[in-house]
Structure formats: structure tokens, C-alpha cells
Amino acid sequence: MVEQDNNPPAVKRLAVIGVGLIGGSLARALRAIGQVGEVVGCGRNVAHLQRGMDLGVIDTFATDPVEAVAGADMVLVAVPLSAMRQVFAAIEPGLGPDTVISDVGSAKVSVIEDARAVLGSALDRFVPGHPIAGTEKSGVEASFPDLYRGRRVILTPMAETRPEALQLVRRVWRLAGAEVTDMAPEHHDEVLAATSHLPHVLAYGLVDTLSRWSDRDEIFQYAAGGFRDFTRIASSDPAMWRDICLANHDAVVVALERYSAALATLTDAVRERDGDQLIACFSNARDARQRFLDMLER
């Protein structure tokens, strides 16, 4: 049943800076339930913004960030991590005294540093956020309204974040169907380095290595479903993942080093034909993955 009533929408005017997979999906989710009055898109590419209008994701657009955020009660910054600081600086002069600003960046410490550097007096209305939902696809065409349904969103509020700003952002993500959790930004970056950033680097590393194994792509012809499952995320946007590795470098290096040590131990076990150690590793991994799947179903 679509939730629709005569109450005013949660957000009267939403400005989405960066109308791609993530920003476009939140706009679609709120529109689908009548919880946004108007969506203004902002980006650098007019053809992409026009596509967002044609798809019904945004109502209107502006390429000037100040124009885009004028009169908005909420601004969602959904651009690559390397563009965050420049976008915050560009929107700052257009923000109203009560405009709430949030972002969706995959690393949080770096985004908070960017906001602190340029958001000025609007910093107390900035709510750093990260939806743990996405796909390997990019762009507004890939956006869909149910992306956040049943998924988690992590908010990493700062000491100065106003409670009413946090409340609005929390409400918006809940309306989109997400389960919202608060977390310290440093902890967020460590956890996501392990569960998201490391697997992406591993998938890219595996496919890159195999593609160089032979000068043709011959070995891929013999890959089974497991290879496809393991490497889906290597189809993700390389520039986005470069940005994530650079923004969260300390935690990603720690995760990679821990994984490398575990891989060295596994290599020894295979070399020494230590079947017991292989069984111990594989069984523990299978049990842990089952617990993970059970958690998803709860």
C-alpha cells in the first residue's frame, strides 16, 4: 500500500546534487510515497540532468549550485568523494538558515573534514550519512525507488549537529524503507573498510590479475558461476572506488594487510597439504557466512 495522506511531505523542496544511482534512488523513493514536494537536480552535465527529468526522477534542474539549493529544506550531496569539498563550498552561499545538508559518501571521516573546511555556519545542519545499499551500476538510469528498502543507512553526526537536522535525515531514510543506525565516523570507516572496501579491492585485483594471466581473455571462457558471483562488484565504477580507497586509505591498508596475512597462511596450508587447516578455515568461513545470511533475513 502506498503511504499517502494529506499531511505535508517530509521534505517540501529537496535539492539533489549529483543525480546518479544513489541520489536518484532517494528522490524516486520519496516521490513514490508522496513525501517530497519538489526535487531539484544539480550537476555539471545538462544531458544527464535532462535524462533525470525525462525519467521523472527530478522536477527541475540547475547547473548553478547556489540556484539549485535556493529555498530547499534539504540538500542531498550525492557526488563522488573527490568532489565533496568543492560541492560543499559551491552550495554554501545559497543555503538558507534552516536548510539541512546531508551526504551519501562511502567514507565518513574525509567527508566531515571537507564539510568542516568549507561549510561555515551551516556545519551544525550537516548530517553525514552513508546508505549501505547500491549496485555495481552508476548513473540516474540505474536508480530505482526500492534500493533502500530493508537496507541500512549509517549516520555519523558530529558534536555540533543540530538534533532537528539529524531527526529530518533519519526520517527521510526511514521513509525510503531503510533501517537507520548512528555510528562514530572513525568506526564507520573501519567497519566499511573491512566489509565493503576490501571486497571491492579484492574483486578488482582478482579480475585484473587473471586478465594478465594470459594475453588473451581465454581463461574467462572457463569461469563458472562462482567467478561471476565473486567478481560482480569488479564491474563498479573505477573512479568511485579510487576515491574510496584514497579517502579511507588508513583503514583500507589495515584491512588489506590483515587479508594478505590470512592469504599467506592459506598459501602455506595448501603448499604443506595441510587439509585440517583448510577445513578449519573453510568451515569457519561457511558458518560465518550462514550467520550473515541469517542476519539479512531477520
Ligand X SMILES: NC(=O)C1=CN([C@@H]2O[C@H](COP(=O)(O)OP(=O)(O)OC[C@H]3O[C@@H](n4cnc5c(N)ncnc54)[C@H](O)[C@@H]3O)[C@@H](O)[C@H]2O)C=CC1
The yes or no reply on residue 105 touching ligand X (CB under 6 A) is yes
Dihedral of alpha carbons 236, 242, 243, 245, sign: positive
The yes or no reply on residue 9 touching ligand ENO (CB under 6 A) is no
Nearest distance from C-beta of residue 271 to ligand ENO, angstroms: 33
Q: CB nearer to ligand X: give 46 or 279.
A: 46
Angle at 10 between CA 185 and CA 163, to 5 degrees: 40
Nearest distance from C-beta of residue 247 to ligand ENO, angstroms: 11
List alpha helices for 74-184, DSSP H.
84-91, 109-118, 163-175
If we measure between CA atoms, which residue out of 185, 14, 218, 28 comes closest to residue 108? Answer: 185
Q: CB nearer to ligand ENO: give 36 or 247.
A: 247
Residues in contact with ligand ENO, shown as a per-residue x/- string from 161 to 200 under the rule CB under 6 A:
-----------------------------------x----
User: Whole-angstrom distance between the N-terminal and C-terminal Cα of the chain?
Assistant: 22
The yes or no reply on residue 134 touching ligand ENO (CB under 6 A) is yes
The yes or no reply on residue 127 touching ligand ENO (CB under 6 A) is no
| Helix, strand, or coil (residue 187) | helix
The yes or no reply on residue 136 touching ligand ENO (CB under 6 A) is yes
Q: Which does 196 bind (CB under 5 to 8 A by kind): ligand ENO, ligand X, none?
A: ligand ENO
Tell me which stretch binds ligand X (CB under 6 A): 78-86, 94-102, 277-285, 287-295.
78-86
Strands 179-182 and 152-155: parallel
Q: Which does 111 bind (CB under 5 to 8 A by kind): ligand ENO, ligand X, none?
A: none
Q: With beta carbons less than 8 A apart as the criterion, state whether 103 and 197 touch.
A: no
Neighbours of 128 (CB within 10 A): 27
State the Cα–Cα distance between residues 43 and 61, nearest whole angstrom. 8
Q: What are phi and psi of 39, to 5 degrees?
A: -115, 125
Tell me which stretch binds ligand ENO (CB under 6 A): 86-94, 129-137, 167-175, 287-295.
129-137
| Residues near ligand X (CB under 6 A) | 17-23, 43-45, 48, 78-81, 83, 86-87, 104-106, 130-131, 134-135, 138-139, 240, 244
| Residues near ligand ENO (CB under 6 A) | 106, 132, 134-136, 196, 233
